[in-house]
Copies of this chain bind each other. A is one copy, B any other.
Amino acid sequence: MDPSLSPELRELQQRTREFIDDVVVPLEARDTPRPGGGHHGPSDDFRVELQDAAKAAGLFAPHIGHEFGGLGLDVAGQAVVFEQAGRSLLGPLALNCAAPDEGNMAMLEKIATPDQAERFLRPLAAGDVRSCFAMTEQSPGAGSDPSMLRTTATRVDGGWALNGEKWFITGGVGAAFAIVMAMTDGRATMFLVDAGTPGFVVEEAIDTIDHISPGGHARITFTDCVVPEDQVLGAVGEGFRYAQVRLAPARLTHCMRWLGLATRALDIAMDRAATREAFGSRLADLGLAQRLIADCVIDIETSRAIIARTAAVLDSGAEGGLASSIAKVHVSEATYRVIDSAIQLCGSDGITVEPLGRYLAEVRPFRIYDGSNETHRWSIARKAVKARTRETGPAVR
């Protein structure tokens, strides 16, 4: 349906689809949520097995430059491939384009020094290690509002000493390193901190409703944790700006992956509807089901369209904060509606844990993380009013 795809991208799309269907989906039964504490998400062994398969299929790390072993896709290309990968909860992990590693790689590729890139990006891009992004703090620290950051970094001999507490850090348990945001003299700076550094403690993962991220969402503490000077990421004091560099595209890649899961959910529901009857008609032919299906299709297609449009903005080099906020709110709500409707279409089969019940739990947090949709709406409205005021000049009362 999308005539703007190049033949190469179309081929890659098709190949990703087949890899997910033929290789990843059959392995899904091995990933069973283990709520109630401990590590979360697929094990490292399982992850490596999935990633080896993706490497064999030539689909590994589609978003990373060739020099780091990836396919070098731009954001528009990622939109196509990540959506296909997202059709399985395990797909993004297999392609090494799951959060938070994917966003960390993208940021490192842009900001890291050559030495840092060799040391941190290369093994991450290769799937040898996992990482985390440690910005969020529990209220009253930096939640949606980074200016409230309370973790600090103070200069010490040969580097910086970090103190503070981070919270809801995805992938924290088992990460080989963390990208940590801390205040330095009233401004924010990013640090690359190795696991095992004294004073860097990853506590247990929080017991959340989603279970797909290896390492779960962890609480992390820093106590006089000393980081050498050459592990400052980018320039001192530029942390907030870099955060934007990371966040706008990272929000959009979330959209891409969850859109894929939404298409899978609708397919599951349509497959079932096509073989069931009620009131003497095929369920798929009944109006109330048709209404749900049509609204799912509209949600999917508008999501795809706003993702493509935002990808074009980002690929043009623009900052894309407003565009990605809009996409995030729309796609996070649209994909949730699709999965919710797929459950409704499946009736009692819809409320078993696998597959759809779990999809609902996995996608629900997306309306909250990466900035809650309410925070994005607040920001969208302010930017819209500001842009309009710029256009019309100061109001005369």
Most buried by B among A322, A344, A381, A385: A381
CB <8 Å contact, A357 and B32: no
CB <8 Å contact, B368 and A344: yes
CB <8 Å contact, A290 and B377: yes
List chain B residues, Cβ under 8 A from A389.
274
Contact of A208 among B278, B287, B351 (CB under 8 A): B351
CB <8 Å contact, A368 and B384: no
Q: Does A41 count as interface, using CB distance less than 8 angstroms?
A: no
Q: Does A374 count as interface, using CB distance less than 8 angstroms?
A: yes
User: A287 vs B392: C-alpha distance in the bound complex, in angstroms?
Assistant: 23
Interfacial residues of chain A within 190-211, with CB under 8 A of chain B in the complex? 206-210
CB <8 Å contact, B352 and A372: no
Interfacial residues of chain A within 341-397, with CB under 8 A of chain B in the complex? 343-344, 347-348, 350-354, 357-358, 360-361, 364-365, 367-369, 372-378, 380-382, 384-385, 388-389, 392, 395-397
Interfacial residues of chain A within 317-348, with CB under 8 A of chain B in the complex? 318, 322-323, 326, 329-330, 343-344, 347-348
Q: Does A301 count as interface, using CB distance less than 8 angstroms?
A: yes
List chain B residues, Cβ under 8 A from A1.
313, 322-323
List chain B residues, Cβ under 8 A from A364.
343, 351, 357, 360
CB <8 Å contact, A380 and B297: yes
List chain B residues, Cβ under 8 A from A4.
312, 316
CB <8 Å contact, B378 and A290: yes
Contact of A291 among B285, B288, B361, B382 (CB under 8 A): B288
User: A2 vs B305: C-alpha distance in the bound complex, in angstroms?
Assistant: 13
CB <8 Å contact, B347 and A368: yes
Contact of A270 among B143, B368, B388 (CB under 8 A): B388
User: A386 vs B207: C-alpha distance in the bound complex, in angstroms?
Assistant: 31
User: A117 vs B296: C-alpha distance in the bound complex, in angstroms?
Assistant: 42
List chain B residues, Cβ under 8 A from A360.
209, 364
Q: Does A120 count as interface, using CB distance less than 8 angstroms?
A: no
Interfacial residues of chain A within 219-242, with CB under 8 A of chain B in the complex? none
**Could you tell me the dominant secondary structure of chain A's interface residues?**
helix
Q: Does A306 count as interface, using CB distance less than 8 angstroms?
A: yes
CB <8 Å contact, B33 and A275: no
CB <8 Å contact, A288 and B374: yes
CB <8 Å contact, B344 and A278: no
CB <8 Å contact, B326 and A298: yes
Q: CB-CB contacts of A248-274 with B at 8 A, as 1s and 0s?
A: 000000000000000000110011011
With A289-B287, A357-B208 given, is the CB distance from A271 to B33 under 8 Å?
no
Q: Does A187 count as interface, using CB distance less than 8 angstroms?
A: no
CB <8 Å contact, B348 and A298: no
Distance of A271 from chain B, by nearest CB (Å): 6
CB <8 Å contact, A351 and B209: yes
Write the chain B residue with the least CB distance to A290. B381
CB <8 Å contact, B347 and A294: no
List chain B residues, Cβ under 8 A from A284.
381, 385
Q: Does A309 count as interface, using CB distance less than 8 angstroms?
A: yes
Distance of A296 from chain B, by nearest CB (Å): 8
With A344-B368, A392-B271 given, is the CB distance from A312 to B144 under 8 Å?
no
CB <8 Å contact, B136 and A348: yes
Write the chain B residue with the least CB distance to A277. B140
Q: Does A3 count as interface, using CB distance less than 8 angstroms?
A: yes
List chain B residues, Cβ under 8 A from A32.
36
Instruction: Please give me the 10 A-B residue pairs with the lowest Cβ-Cβ distance, nearest first.
Output: A287-B287, A3-B316, A294-B377, A290-B381, A305-B305, A209-B357, A293-B381, A288-B374, A305-B309, A294-B380
If A208-B353, A351-B368 are given as contacts, then 19 extra A-B residue pairs at C-beta distance below 8 Å, sorted by A number, are A3-B313, A4-B312, A32-B36, A140-B277, A143-B348, A167-B348, A207-B354, A208-B352, A270-B384, A274-B395, A278-B375, A287-B287, A289-B374, A289-B381, A293-B381, A298-B329, A301-B330, A348-B368, A357-B364
